[in-house]
Amino acid sequence: MIYILDTDTFSDATRRRRRLRERIDRERHTHRVLTTVITELEMYHGWHERVTKAADRVELSRAIAGLNVSKEFLAEFEVLPFDEIAAEHFERLKREKLSRKAGRKDLLIGCVALAHSARVVTRNLKDFRLIPGLDAEDWSE
Protein backbone atom coordinates (compact mmCIF):
# COMPACT_ATOMS: atom_id res chain seq x y z
CA MET A 1 0.00 0.00 0.00
CA ILE A 2 1.12 3.54 -0.77
CA TYR A 3 -0.08 6.28 1.55
CA ILE A 4 0.16 9.95 0.59
CA LEU A 5 0.08 12.52 3.38
CA ASP A 6 -1.95 15.54 2.36
CA THR A 7 -0.95 19.02 3.49
CA ASP A 8 -3.06 19.08 6.67
CA THR A 9 -1.76 15.70 7.81
CA PHE A 10 1.81 16.67 6.94
CA SER A 11 1.46 19.92 8.89
CA ASP A 12 -0.08 18.14 11.87
CA ALA A 13 2.80 15.66 11.90
CA THR A 14 5.41 18.44 11.84
CA ARG A 15 3.81 19.82 14.98
CA ARG A 16 4.93 16.62 16.65
CA ARG A 17 1.45 15.26 17.27
CA ARG A 18 2.65 12.14 19.02
CA ARG A 19 -0.09 9.70 18.03
CA LEU A 20 0.00 10.78 14.39
CA ARG A 21 3.79 10.52 14.23
CA GLU A 22 3.61 7.07 15.83
CA ARG A 23 1.06 5.98 13.22
CA ILE A 24 3.22 7.29 10.38
CA ASP A 25 6.28 5.53 11.78
CA ARG A 26 4.32 2.29 12.26
CA GLU A 27 2.95 2.36 8.71
CA ARG A 28 6.41 3.03 7.28
CA HIS A 29 7.53 -0.41 8.47
CA THR A 30 5.21 -2.19 6.06
CA HIS A 31 4.02 0.44 3.56
CA ARG A 32 5.30 3.40 1.59
CA VAL A 33 4.32 6.70 3.21
CA LEU A 34 4.95 9.64 0.89
CA THR A 35 3.82 13.16 0.15
CA THR A 36 3.42 15.18 -3.04
CA VAL A 37 4.96 18.20 -4.67
CA ILE A 38 1.62 19.95 -4.07
CA THR A 39 2.02 19.55 -0.31
CA GLU A 40 5.64 20.64 -0.57
CA LEU A 41 4.58 23.80 -2.43
CA GLU A 42 1.77 24.53 0.04
CA MET A 43 4.13 24.07 2.97
CA TYR A 44 6.75 26.41 1.55
CA HIS A 45 4.11 28.96 0.55
CA GLY A 46 2.69 28.98 4.08
CA TRP A 47 6.08 29.45 5.72
CA HIS A 48 7.06 32.09 3.15
CA GLU A 49 3.93 34.05 4.13
CA ARG A 50 4.72 33.75 7.84
CA VAL A 51 8.34 34.82 7.36
CA THR A 52 7.55 37.81 5.13
CA LYS A 53 4.66 38.99 7.31
CA ALA A 54 6.40 38.61 10.67
CA ALA A 55 5.76 41.74 12.72
CA ASP A 56 8.84 41.46 14.93
CA ARG A 57 11.92 39.39 15.53
CA VAL A 58 10.07 36.96 17.82
CA GLU A 59 7.53 36.14 15.10
CA LEU A 60 10.31 35.98 12.53
CA SER A 61 12.35 33.58 14.69
CA ARG A 62 9.30 31.36 15.22
CA ALA A 63 8.54 31.35 11.50
CA ILE A 64 12.12 30.45 10.59
CA ALA A 65 12.17 27.72 13.23
CA GLY A 66 8.89 26.32 11.91
CA LEU A 67 10.20 26.37 8.37
CA ASN A 68 13.31 24.48 9.45
CA VAL A 69 11.28 21.82 11.27
CA SER A 70 9.08 21.38 8.21
CA LYS A 71 12.09 21.12 5.90
CA GLU A 72 13.70 18.50 8.13
CA PHE A 73 10.49 16.47 8.27
CA LEU A 74 9.97 16.78 4.52
CA ALA A 75 13.46 15.37 3.96
CA GLU A 76 12.24 12.09 5.51
CA PHE A 77 9.76 11.54 2.67
CA GLU A 78 9.77 10.74 -0.98
CA VAL A 79 7.96 13.59 -2.73
CA LEU A 80 5.86 12.44 -5.67
CA PRO A 81 5.79 14.80 -8.66
CA PHE A 82 2.73 15.95 -10.55
CA ASP A 83 3.48 13.86 -13.60
CA GLU A 84 1.82 13.18 -16.94
CA ILE A 85 -0.46 10.48 -15.51
CA ALA A 86 -1.63 12.84 -12.74
CA ALA A 87 -2.25 15.49 -15.42
CA GLU A 88 -4.40 13.02 -17.38
CA HIS A 89 -6.51 12.36 -14.27
CA PHE A 90 -6.81 16.11 -13.75
CA GLU A 91 -8.00 16.69 -17.33
CA ARG A 92 -10.54 13.86 -17.03
CA LEU A 93 -11.92 15.19 -13.76
CA LYS A 94 -12.13 18.71 -15.22
CA ARG A 95 -14.09 17.39 -18.22
CA GLU A 96 -16.44 15.62 -15.81
CA LYS A 97 -16.86 18.92 -13.93
CA LEU A 98 -15.53 17.36 -10.74
CA SER A 99 -12.83 19.98 -10.31
CA ARG A 100 -15.47 22.39 -8.96
CA LYS A 101 -16.57 20.08 -6.16
CA ALA A 102 -13.23 19.45 -4.47
CA GLY A 103 -10.76 22.19 -3.59
CA ARG A 104 -8.16 22.74 -6.31
CA LYS A 105 -5.13 21.74 -4.22
CA ASP A 106 -6.95 18.69 -2.87
CA LEU A 107 -7.86 17.75 -6.42
CA LEU A 108 -4.20 18.02 -7.49
CA ILE A 109 -3.08 15.84 -4.56
CA GLY A 110 -5.88 13.41 -5.40
CA CYS A 111 -4.71 13.19 -9.01
CA VAL A 112 -1.19 12.30 -7.88
CA ALA A 113 -2.69 9.64 -5.61
CA LEU A 114 -4.77 8.23 -8.47
CA ALA A 115 -1.70 8.15 -10.70
CA HIS A 116 0.08 5.96 -8.13
CA SER A 117 -2.94 3.93 -6.93
CA ALA A 118 -2.31 5.42 -3.49
CA ARG A 119 -4.54 6.24 -0.54
CA VAL A 120 -4.60 9.83 0.73
CA VAL A 121 -4.23 10.39 4.46
CA THR A 122 -6.24 13.47 5.39
CA ARG A 123 -8.46 15.12 7.98
CA ASN A 124 -10.48 16.42 5.04
CA LEU A 125 -12.32 13.27 3.99
CA LYS A 126 -15.29 15.31 2.79
CA ASP A 127 -13.44 16.89 -0.15
CA PHE A 128 -11.23 13.95 -1.03
CA ARG A 129 -14.22 11.60 -1.16
CA LEU A 130 -15.64 13.78 -3.94
CA ILE A 131 -12.90 12.46 -6.24
CA PRO A 132 -14.14 9.27 -7.94
CA GLY A 133 -11.96 6.23 -7.45
CA LEU A 134 -9.80 7.83 -4.75
CA ASP A 135 -9.23 6.10 -1.40
CA ALA A 136 -8.80 8.33 1.63
CA GLU A 137 -8.58 7.81 5.36
CA ASP A 138 -8.03 9.90 8.48
CA TRP A 139 -5.19 9.11 10.88
CA SER A 140 -5.79 12.11 13.15
CA GLU A 141 -8.08 10.25 15.55
Q: What is the pLDDT of residue 110?
A: 96
Q: How far apart are CA 82 and CA 10, in angstroms?
A: 18
Pick the CATH number of 2-137 from 2.60.40.1510, 3.40.50.1010, 3.40.50.620, 3.90.180.10: 3.40.50.1010
Looking at the chain, the number of H-run helices and the number of E-run strands are: 7, 5
What is the mean predicted confidence (pLDDT) over 109-137?
95
pLDDT of the residue at 17: 81
Residue 141 pLDDT more than 90? no
At a CB cut-off of 8 Å and minimum separation 6, what does 73 contact? 10, 13, 14
Render pLDDT for 18-74 as a digit per residue (tens, 0 to 9): 899 999 999 999 999 999 999 999 999 999 999 999 999 999 999 999 999 999 999
> Could you tell me the residue ranges of all domains in the chain?
2-137
The SS3 assignment for 88 reads: helix
pLDDT band at 135 (very low <50, low <70, confident <90, very high): very high
